[in-house]
């Protein structure tokens, strides 16, 4: 698969050009334990439905990208949004404002980017984005750490992250579970997010509640379309792909 160097590290990515040069590209930003490969076929379905280009990549430490040893700073999502993502877009040849589609941590990264570069984003779609730290999130990550140590979760993640799995999980969970991270909060940035936002949340998400969507609706500086899905957990695009695809198509078509 093709790679680029951004932020000083080799990153694995996949791109599909738009069906028409005038159409935008959707940039997919994966979750905290995700990777480019874990989007599976969803980007292709978006391309087939809209003709938009797609770009997905594994962040540093994830998937087939360079491994990331050592502790992670609590600023890791800000660092990605403000410094790395602009370089990814430039090196991938993106010259027009993209749509950012972020899942979980990726949704937070999308919102931070949109706040810092308000003229550089056409629209944002978030799934299970975090804008503040909830007790349920911390408890579920602590539970995931226990499952990782028992071996079951480690085996699943190794299929996507290979030899870097242990350092990835230690760095990511260590940052989220650190006492300093309890103060992480991006609600003050939301008024600077002026592009349209589709904020998706599963009602059965163990890693966050509708309070995250309510905060985005209340705080964003542009129009927000909330979408709360019944019988859905942390990964709406994987659990309810048809409904999420239809909502994304309707949202982006209305922005054309």
Domain boundaries 3-253, CATH class? alpha beta
- Res 256: pLDDT: 55
d(CA 159, CA 163) in angstroms, rounded, equals 10
DSSP 4: E
- Res 79: pLDDT: 98
The closest alpha carbon to 34, from 128, 124, 117, 132, belongs to: 128
Tell me the average pLDDT across 165-193. 98
- Res 254: pLDDT: 80
Tell me the average pLDDT across 100-121. 98
- Res 255: pLDDT: 67
39-59 pLDDT per residue, tens: 999 999 999 999 999 999 999
Residue 256 DSSP SS3: coil
The closest alpha carbon to 175, from 72, 103, 58, 63, belongs to: 72
In the predicted structure, residue 238 carries a pLDDT above the cut 60: yes
Return the domain boundaries, the chain: 3-253
188-230 pLDDT per residue, tens: 999 999 999 999 999 999 999 999 999 999 999 999 999 999 9
* Cα angle 226, 27, 187; round to 5: 45
């Amino acid at each position: 698969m093709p790679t680029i160097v951004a932020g000083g590290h080799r990153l694995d990515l996949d791109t599909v050009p738009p069906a028409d040069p005038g159409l935008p590209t959707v940039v997919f930003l994966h979750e905290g334990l995700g990777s480019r490969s874990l989007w599976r076929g969803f980007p292709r379905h978006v391309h087939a439905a809209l003709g938009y280009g797609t770009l997905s990549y594994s962040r540093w430490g994830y998937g087939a990208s360079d491994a990331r040893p050592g502790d992670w700073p609590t600023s890791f999502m800000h660092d990605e949004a403000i410094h790395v993502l602009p370089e990814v877009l430039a090196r991938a040849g993106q010259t027009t404002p993209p749509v950012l589609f972020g899942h979980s941590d990726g949704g937070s990264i999308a919102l931070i980017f949109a706040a810092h570069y308000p003229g550089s984003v056409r629209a944002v779609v978030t799934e299970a984005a975090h804008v503040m730290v909830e007790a349920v999130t911390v408890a579920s990550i602590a539970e995931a750490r226990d499952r990782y140590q028992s071996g079951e979760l480690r085996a699943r993640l190794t299929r996507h992250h290979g030899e870097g799995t242990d350092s990835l999980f230690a760095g990511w969970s260590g940052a989220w579970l650190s006492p300093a991270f309890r103060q992480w909060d991006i609600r003050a940035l939301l008024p600077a997010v002026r592009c349209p936002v589709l904020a998706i949340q599963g009602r059965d998400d163990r890693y966050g509640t509708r309070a995250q969507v309510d905060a985005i609706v209340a705080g964003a500086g542009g129009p927000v379309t909330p979408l709360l899905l019944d019988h859905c957990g942390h990964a709406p695009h994987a659990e309810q792909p048809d409904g999420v695809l239809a909502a994304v198509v309707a949202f982006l078509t209305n922005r054309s």
